[in-house]
Structure 1
Amino acid sequence: MASRIISRVVSLPVRSVRKPALNILSAGSRQALAFTSVRSFSITQLRGSQTETSKALATVLTGELEYETEKLESDEIDGIPDPAKNFLESSGFKIVSPPSEDSVSLEGQINGAQVVVRFVPSDIHENYNEDEYDEENIVDENGNVDPMYEQSGQPVVFTKIFITKPNAGTLAVETVVREGKFVVELVSHFDDSSVALSQSAEAENDRRLKYWGPPFNELDPRLVKLMPKYLAEFGIDDELAIFISEFAPFKENKLYIESLEKIRNFVSA
């Protein structure tokens, strides 16, 4: 509709010229001038209205920024709270991912193996969504609620673990961290460790095509019981699970604050 209105406005000066002798500019030039005039007026008016809106938006963003900043721990050191820093110093793991990324990669050399643990801070879940999971999906045939969907104050963090041994390839384990423990979901093995560890799009696609077996909790109960004990020998234990449960929401909050500040500064510019 706007284009049709502009067309009508642009065409009026052309039709109002009745004496060819005074027609110094061509019809096309007059249309361009008329359009420029109309457009310039519209932009000026729009900028005026944006100024008031931007001030209001900047005020709201500042309030949100102050609210989120208050949630940070006062004992934060180098972007990491003291408890988390203490764990990293004693566990053998170190954070190798950039602070500004929405991802965390922990690496360590433990019991002769290279261990890599990855998770995404924004991909955490406090409780299950009752609208998303109905009773038919979360309750088994015995009437027990799947532990994945039980409500709890602890966040659920989806975590990927890679254990690489010399000349033995890489064991890849997909887990869920919940209530200070790792729950194993899927396990597979990669002969080519570069495919398991690379974060390229091609490697990610190769991992999707990999056979990961049935859900781990459907396997032999002895296997389900022994696998967490085996992972613990490589530092994948309750202490690491607690660290992830606490650090993931902290890191997500830091990223949100950084994003809010950049948006507020842009709006205020």
Structure 2
Amino acid sequence: MASRMILRAATRAAKVSRAEFANILRQQTIRSNVRAFSAFPVVAAKHAGGKVSKKDKRGPISPRDELVSILNDELSFETTQAKEEESASGLMEIIDAHGFELIDVPDVDNVTLKKTIDDGTEILVKFVPSDVNSYSGESPYGEEEFSEEFENEKDLEEGEELDEEFNEGYLPTKIYITKPGKGTVVIDANSEPDNLAIEQVTFFKDSAVALSDDTLAEQTRKSVYWGPPFQNLDHRLQDAYYSYLESVGLDGEISEFISSYSKVKENLLYRKSLEDVKNFFES
């Protein structure tokens, strides 16, 4: 979630250069401090050693009223963003073409895709829309990485757009392939804008252990041998896994759906949260 919130700051502009995004990241702490004093403009100016002009003077405003006002602004912006994303999506066509059913419960931060293929094998794909991550960790760049990447990069040019995959990040995705009475294969993967990257493949003889969310099943899963990291497997085996996934409809288009739909869903959840908090403070 933290990563998506930082990326959201970058997407407020139509196009963001690396230099511009670097400046956004540099000012995160500063902006937080400014917001803390924003309800007291005169006091903040005096602490900063500045002068307050007549134009800056205004009647007293309570911190609550300012919070409600800013919540309204944020809600308005996010609503506009949602309309732009949803109008260009056409996402359900992808699901229909690949034979998946979309299971999406309102106000719940998880989504499931489901299908059953000809031999009776059931396939579930689960992801949490707010779980999008950057390839560099919790924030796109740590302080040291930030300095090395942005300040020492000689070929940095004003107006250069952020790399597409950096902009999008990846979304952890779990794929459950179940044959009745024969167990479940669980594939941990990362959904990128146009690619599904496998991280781990694990077999569970008891499908209930693989699929259940209860505490006992979770404890049992921890004791199961998870196997080596996927990238350590023989390349032929890696290719065979990817070929199988494509054969059952789990290809780059599904990964694109997951990436795009997660944005729409997370925006919806965020707007609902903003609305709830705004109503709380207004009441």
After TM superposition, the structure 1 stretch with the greater mean CA deviation from structure 2, 114-123 or 232-241, is: 232-241
2:86·2:264 contact (CA, 8 Å) conserved in 1?
no
Q: Taking every aligned residue pair, what percent have the same amino acid on both sides?
A: 36
Query: Is the alpha carbon distance of 1:176 and 1:99 closer, same or farther for their aligned partners in structure 2, counting shifts above 3 Å?
Result: same
Partner of 1:43: none
Report Cα offsets for 1:48-94 as digits up to 9, x if no partner.
xxx932222111100110011110136849xxx75112222222212
TM-score, normalising length: structure 2 = 0.65
Partner residue, 2:271 = 257
CA RMSD of aligned residues (A): 2.6
- Which secondary structure does the structure 1 equivalent of 2:112 belong to? strand
The CA distance in 1 between the partners of 2:93 and 2:165, in whole Å, is: 30
- Please give the residue correspondences for 1:176-255 in structure 2 after superposition, counting only pairs within 5 Å: 176-255=190-269
Q: In 1, are the aligned partners of 2:85 and 2:264 still within 8 Å (CA)?
A: no
Give the alignment of 1:93-172 within 5 angstroms: 93-111=100-118, 112-128=120-136, 129-131=140-142, 152-172=166-186
Cα pair distance change 1:133/1:243, threshold 3 Å: farther
Q: Give the conservation status (yes or no) of the 8 Å contact 2:184–2:207.
A: yes
Structure 1 partner of 2:3: none
Q: Which residue of 1 aligns with 2:282?
A: 268
Opposite residue 109 of structure 2, the aligned amino acid is: D
SS at match of 2:258: helix
**Aligned equivalents of 2:143, 2:206: Cα separation in 1:** 38
Q: Secondary structure at the match of 2:132?
A: strand
Name stretches of at least 5 consecutive residues in structure 2 with no aligned partner. 1-60, 147-163
Shift of 1:119: 0.8
The change in CA–CA distance for 1:133 and 1:237 in structure 2 (over 3 A counts) is farther
Find the aligned partners of 2:209 and 2:271 in 1 and give their Cα distance.
34
Q: Deviations over 1:194-245 (max 9, x none)?
A: 1111122332232232211111101111111111111122221111111011
CA contact (8 A) 1:110 1:235 kept: no
The whole-number CA distance in structure 1 between the counterparts of 2:231 and 2:108 is 32
Q: How many angstroms apart in 2 are the aligned matches of 1:205 and 1:185?
A: 21
1:49-60 correspondence runs (5 A): 52-60=62-70
Q: Matches of 2:95 and 2:249 in 1, distance apart? A: 11
Hey, which bits of structure 1, 4+ residues long, moved more than 3 A?
A: 74-77, 132-135
1:87 paired residue number: 94
2:265 maps to a residue whose letter is K
* Contact 2:186-2:201 within 8 A present in 1 as well: yes
Q: Which amino acid aligns with 1:131?
A: G
On the 8 A contact 1:106/1:118 being kept in 2, the answer is yes
- Equivalent residue letter for 1:228: Y
* Equivalenced residues, count: 203
Residue 155 of structure 1, CA deviation: 2.8
Look up the match of 1:63.
Answer: 73
Give the letter aligned to residue 247 of structure 1. Answer: Y
Q: Which has the higher contact order (CA 8 A, sep 6+)?
A: 2
The yes-or-no answer on 1:72 pairing with 2:78 is no
Residues 151 and 84 of structure 1: CA distance in aligned 2, closer, same or farther (over 3 Å) = closer
